[in-house]
Amino acid sequence: MDPSTGRQFGGHADRNSPFLGIAPRTLFANEVEAQGFRFFETATEIQLAAALQNHGWTPPLLQLSHQDPAIRHAVIANGIMSRRYQASEISASTEPQANNLSQAALQQYCKAIACFRSQLGSGLDGNLLPLETAPACFVLLIMFEFMQGNASGLIIHLKHANKLATTFGMSRQTQSFINLLALVETVAALWLNLDLSHADASPCLQELNKCPRPSSLPHGQISLYYDLSWINDDVLKWRHAVASGHVHSTTHVADPKSFYDVSQRTIQFKLDTWHERWVARSSNEEDSAPHHYALLRVNYLVTVLVVDAVHQRHLSAQNIQHESTHSREPLKLDYFNEIIESVAEVLEAGHSFSRYYPCAEEGPLEAAGLLPLFSFRHSFIQPLFYVAQHAPQVKLRQRAIKLLMERPWREGAWDSYIMGSIAKNSLGGIAGLHSMT
Complete DSSP assignment for 376-424: ----SHHHHHHHHHH-SSHHHHHHHHHHHHHS--EETTEEHHHHHHHHH
The answer to whether 75 and 28 have CB atoms below 8 angstroms apart is: no
Indicate the pLDDT class of residue 191, thresholds 50, 70 and 90: low
| Cα separation, 388 vs 402, whole angstroms | 9
Give the CA-trace dihedral at 398, 399, 401, 407, to 10 degrees.
Answer: 150
Looking at 137, 166, 200, the residue that finishes a domain is 200
Q: Which residues contact 364 (CB under 8 A, 6 or more apart)?
A: 46, 50
Listed range (107-111, 173-177, 277-281, 409-413) with the worst mean pLDDT: 173-177
234-274 pLDDT tens trace: 887 787 777 666 444 444 445 566 667 778 899 999 999 99
pLDDT in the model for residue 326: 55
**Any domain includes 4:** no
The answer for 149, left when phi > 0, alpha when psi is -120 to 50, beta otherwise, is: left
pLDDT in the model for residue 15: 34
262, 410: one domain: yes
pLDDT in the model for residue 190: 63
pLDDT in the model for residue 75: 96
194, 227: one domain: no
The answer for 365, left when phi > 0, alpha when psi is -120 to 50, beta otherwise, is: alpha
**Any domain includes 3:** no
pLDDT in the model for residue 431: 45
192, 230: one domain: no
281, 146: one domain: no
**Any domain includes 173:** yes
**Any domain includes 210:** no
| Cα separation, 433 vs 437, whole angstroms | 9
274, 145: one domain: no
154, 240: one domain: no
176, 251: one domain: no
Total domain count for the chain?
2
Looking at 140, 170, 200, the residue that finishes a domain is 200
**Any domain includes 181:** yes
pLDDT in the model for residue 396: 96
188, 228: one domain: no
Cross-strand pairs, 411? 414
Listed range (60-64, 158-162, 267-271, 429-433) with the worst mean pLDDT: 429-433
172, 258: one domain: no
* CA angle in degrees (0–180, nearest 5) for 332-312-192: 80
Range of the structural domain that residue 145 is part of:
13-200
> Over 50: is that where the pLDDT of 133 sits?
yes
pTM: 0.81
295, 426: one domain: yes
34, 110: one domain: yes
In terms of C-beta density within 10 A (0-12 exposed, 13-18 middle, 19 or more buried), how is residue 155 classed?
middle
188, 235: one domain: no
> Over 80: is that where the pLDDT of 410 sits?
yes
**Any domain includes 132:** yes
**Any domain includes 157:** yes
**Any domain includes 2:** no
Looking at 166, 200, 234, the residue that finishes a domain is 200
pLDDT in the model for residue 301: 96
How far CA 434 is from CA of 99, 136, 377, in Å, comes to 28, 41, 33
